[in-house]
Amino acid sequence: MKLGYNNIKLLSPTDSFLAERRKTPYFGNNWHYHIEFELLFIIKGNGVRVVGDNMSQFGDNQLVLMGSNLPHLFRNEEDETKEVDYIVIKFLYGLSDISLFKIPELTTVDQLLKRSARGILFNSESVKNVKRKLIQLSKTQGVKKLINLIEVLGILSEQQDFNYLASESFNIGLASKDKERTQVVIDYITQNYNEDIRLEDLAALTHMTTNSFCRFFKENTGNTAFNFIREFRINKACQLLINTDQKISQICYSTGFNSVSTFNRIFKIIKGLSASNFRLNYHKYLK
């Protein structure tokens, strides 16, 4: 399975960028990258988000802008009773070979696109400002479609309150072979997180010794394989704490931990509070 970008599937020969609303019970496949910038608005749904070396949960009404060639993965569990409702917009820096964002009137948008190299998570107020326009953008064609895109990017470029996702030190300049190897490992982890994952198994996937693999993974993701597995499991646990009534002990074992005490200790290290308080705080917030 290769980590290579796919050319965007345009809606018609007259389109210069992709903008559409989708609904699916299963969201996300592989850790991947592409040359297009991507604006992803989750209207409804939840799962785990990996952007560069950042891992966290995604949920309703979240908006993320990802820069060109920034590796990312949005993943949930396949469930026919639940669906992810989202709008995806993919566009190139030069629309139809025209350097649109270089014109003086779009200087702030140009700066926004440069910042998106690390991935940007916008706050709830920013989402409110563009939600209606994003929905409209997913429905329009022709001149209005392009105007809506520029309007959305213009509004977002003026927002001061946002969070970067990937760290400044995240390495995106990977060789092609390294990208493929990294994808194989991350795909394996995200598909088998609830099983016993040994370092030797991961190293075997890349045809490396364990020591070489550890250096390789850290250099290419900014994280150790051990920490990546722990964080992915904890974020899956957060989903279960939010969306189910399962006991913490059940969640512990279903996310790949071997003991409740270990689960509780690691959860507090990563999230800064206990699993029970995380669930309590979340439900208090919803009231």
The CATH number assigned to the domain holding 132 equals 2.60.120.280
279 contacts 285 by C-beta, under 8 angstroms: no
The answer to whether position 159 is within a domain reads: yes
Q: What is the mean pLDDT of residues 226-251?
A: 91
Per-residue pLDDT at 77 exceeds 90: no
The answer to whether position 280 is within a domain reads: yes
Residues 246 and 217 in one domain: yes
Please say which residue of 132, 164, 196 terminates a domain: 164
Integer angstrom CA distances of residue 138 from 53, 59, 119, 135: 30, 20, 22, 5
pLDDT at 85 (0 to 100): 95
Please say which residue of 131, 164, 197 terminates a domain: 164
The answer to whether position 3 is within a domain reads: no
Q: What is the mean pLDDT of residues 38-66?
A: 92
The answer to whether position 2 is within a domain reads: no
Residues 184 and 266 in one domain: yes
Per-residue pLDDT at 95 exceeds 80: no
Please say which residue of 108, 135, 164 terminates a domain: 164
The answer to whether position 232 is within a domain reads: yes
Provide the percentage of residues in the chain whose pLDDT is more than 70: 88
Per-residue pLDDT at 7 exceeds 60: no
Residues 154 and 197 in one domain: no
Q: What is the mean pLDDT of residues 199-210?
A: 94
Q: Residues with Cβ < 8 Å from 271, sequence gap 6 or more?
A: 234, 238, 278
The answer to whether position 6 is within a domain reads: no
Neighbours of 197 (CB within 10 A): 17
Residues 33 and 158 in one domain: yes
Residues 23 and 160 in one domain: yes
156 contacts 112 by C-beta, under 8 angstroms: yes
The domain spanning residue 218 has which CATH number?
1.10.10.60
Q: Return the DSSP state at 28.
A: -
Band the pLDDT of 80: cuts 50, 70, 90.
low
pLDDT at 10 (0 to 100): 46
Residues 157 and 232 in one domain: no
Catalogue the E-assigned strands of 25-149: 37-44, 47-51, 54-58, 62-66, 72-75, 84-91, 120-122
Residue 250, domain extent? 176-286
Residues 149 and 211 in one domain: no
The number of folded domains in the chain is 2
The answer to whether position 227 is within a domain reads: yes
Per-residue pLDDT at 228 exceeds 80: yes
Extract the tokens encoding 231. 């964080």
Amino acid residing at 271: K
Catalogue the E-assigned strands of 4-112: 18-24, 37-44, 47-51, 54-58, 62-66, 72-75, 84-91
The answer to whether position 264 is within a domain reads: yes
